[in-house]
Amino acid sequence: MGQREITCLFMRGGTSRGPFFNSDDLPTDLDIRNKVLLAAMGSPDTRQIDGLGGADMLTSKIAIISKSERKGIDVDYLFAQAWLDKPIIDTAPSCGNMLAAVGPYAIERRIVKTTGNQTCVNIYNVNTGSQIEAVIQTPNNQITYEGTQQIDGVPGTAAPILLNFSNIVGSKCGSLFPTGETTNEIQGIRVSCMDVAMPMVIMRAADLGVTGYESNSIVNNTALMQRIEKIRLEAGHKMGLGDVAEMVVPKVGIIAKARHGGSIYSCYLTPHHAHAAHAVTGAICVASCATIKGTIAESISKKTNGFSETVNIEHPSGVIDIDLKTSKSGLNTQVFSAGVIRTARKIMEGQVFVPERLWP
């Protein structure tokens, strides 16, 4: 049997990249779709030598886009994470970096028409149920990727893309603090279990016996990573997620005091590798943790419930700024919205080939 071609755009979104597919071009059966996506990415294989994957969790990501039938929404965005070493396509988490390219994709594919020098694309995140307004630069009604915006973790500059997130609390666990407490002790470590844009278990680096500033010292320490995984697994149960051994949520945030004038430092685990920069959705959750009194971050964060403020999160590649709007405090805190600036670029347009035998 031969191979079947599938149309896609290969795009960078924020500090991640991967193929963007129209859902109409993929099988409707989920098991078959996952096999097709694994083949397209070259998984399972740590080098992903036989597919589009970049041999890293940050470059083994997929976006599936469809024209939305929801009121006030232009496109539905489903994120899929292809594992490197296992035949797993995980749609439990979302990716805010890949999200940055969803608006440009919608314009490139003429799902959304430009509206002058700026075009707003309203996106529904199928993974989390959140809504995002993406503001795209379209001078003279033409999308542009060129600009002066720099984001840490990406070389050079590009056109800014503003992402405004709403409906971001409790997407997977049903509440801001799924355990009913601002902190819990798990495996002898005090943590905060939170669900804002991304379910996370957040802990202080000092409590683990590390600075947190050098991500390699964490992921290369087998005993420490095993301890962190035990905490993550128990946290998953406490958060109502069940057995998360073969899920990438909850993600793990290792936090420390900021070193360069920021609000807080965060090493973001994905969850078995360290993010080279920081996930956008994870940054929203860490920013929330940094501003809410009673969390694990209270003693090391420079922020305390300002209700409307910018949280500067330092990470291994620089800083990511989150504009956060909240009200009330502690367990009663309400997180209304979060904004972040990202960039994106169209890298390639064409067809990816998968074995015909995978298709029904």
**Tens digits of residue pLDDT in 124-133:** 999 999 999 9
Per-residue pLDDT at 258: 97
Q: Are residues 42 and 154 in the same domain?
A: yes
Q: Is residue 285 part of a domain?
A: yes
Query: Half-sphere exposure of residue 26, counting CA atoms within 13 Å on the CB side?
Result: 26
Per-residue pLDDT at 171: 84
Q: Is residue 280 part of a domain?
A: yes
Q: Are residues 199 and 296 in the same domain?
A: yes
pLDDT band, very low/low/confident/very high, at 308 (cuts 50, 70, 90): confident
Q: Are residues 189 and 61 in the same domain?
A: no
Per-residue pLDDT at 360: 76
Q: Are residues 227 and 102 in the same domain?
A: no
pLDDT band, very low/low/confident/very high, at 304 (cuts 50, 70, 90): low
Q: Is residue 86 part of a domain?
A: yes
Per-residue pLDDT at 306: 58
Q: Is residue 261 part of a domain?
A: yes
Closest CA to 40 of 16, 60, 17: 60
Instruction: State the SS3 of the chain.
Output: CCEEEEEEEEEEECCEEEEEEEHHHCCCCHHHHHHHHHHHHCCCCCCCCCCCCCCCHHHCEEEEEEECCCCCCCEEEEEEEECCCCCCEECCCCCHHHHCCHHHHHHHCCCCCCCCCEEEEEEEECCCCCEEEEEEECHHHCCCCCCCECCCCCCCCECCEEEEEECCECCCCCCCCCCCCCCEEECCEEEEEEEECEEEEEEEHHHHCCCCCCHHHHHCCHHHHHHHHHHHHHHHHHCCCCCCCCCCCCEEEEEECCCCCCCEEEEEECCCCECCCCCHHHHHHHHHHHHCCCCCCCCCCCCCCCCEEEEEEEECCEEEEEEEEEECCHHHCEEEEEEEEECEEEEEEEEEEEEHHHCC
pLDDT band, very low/low/confident/very high, at 169 (cuts 50, 70, 90): very high
Domain extent for 256? 184-338
Per-residue pLDDT at 16: 96
213-228 average pLDDT score:
94
165-188 average pLDDT score:
96
158-184 average pLDDT score:
96
Q: Is residue 170 part of a domain?
A: no
Number of domains observed in the structure of the chain: 2
Pairing outcome for strands 189-196 and 184-186:
antiparallel
pLDDT band, very low/low/confident/very high, at 315 (cuts 50, 70, 90): very high
pLDDT beyond 60 at 305: no
- Give the Cα separation of 162 and 138 in Å (integer): 13
CATH code at 123?
A: 3.10.310.10
Q: Are residues 353 and 334 in the same domain?
A: no
pLDDT band, very low/low/confident/very high, at 317 (cuts 50, 70, 90): very high
Residue found under tokens 């991304």: 198
> How many C-beta neighbours within 10 Å does residue 341 have?
18
Q: Are residues 294 and 238 in the same domain?
A: yes
Per-residue pLDDT at 307: 65
Q: Is residue 172 part of a domain?
A: no
Partnered with residue 6 across adjacent β-strands are 352
Residue found under tokens 């995140």: 125
309-332 average pLDDT score:
94
Residue 155: partners with Cβ closer than 8 Å, 6 or more residues away: none
Q: Are residues 305 and 351 in the same domain?
A: no
Q: What is the pTM of this model?
A: 0.88
Q: Are residues 329 and 241 in the same domain?
A: yes
Partnered with residue 264 across adjacent β-strands are 313
Q: Are residues 219 and 326 in the same domain?
A: yes
50-63 average pLDDT score:
96
279-291 average pLDDT score:
96
Q: Are residues 145 and 192 in the same domain?
A: no
Q: Is residue 234 part of a domain?
A: yes
91-117 average pLDDT score:
96
Partnered with residue 112 across adjacent β-strands are none
Q: Are residues 113 and 199 in the same domain?
A: no
Closest CA to 321 of 160, 144, 213: 160
Q: Are residues 147 and 200 in the same domain?
A: no
Tell me the per-residue pLDDT of 71-83, one tens digit each, with 9 for 90 and over. Answer: 999 999 999 999 9
pLDDT band, very low/low/confident/very high, at 218 (cuts 50, 70, 90): very high
Mean pLDDT estimate for the chain = 95
pLDDT beyond 70 at 201: yes
Q: Is residue 166 part of a domain?
A: no
- Give the Cα separation of 294 and 329 in Å (integer): 9
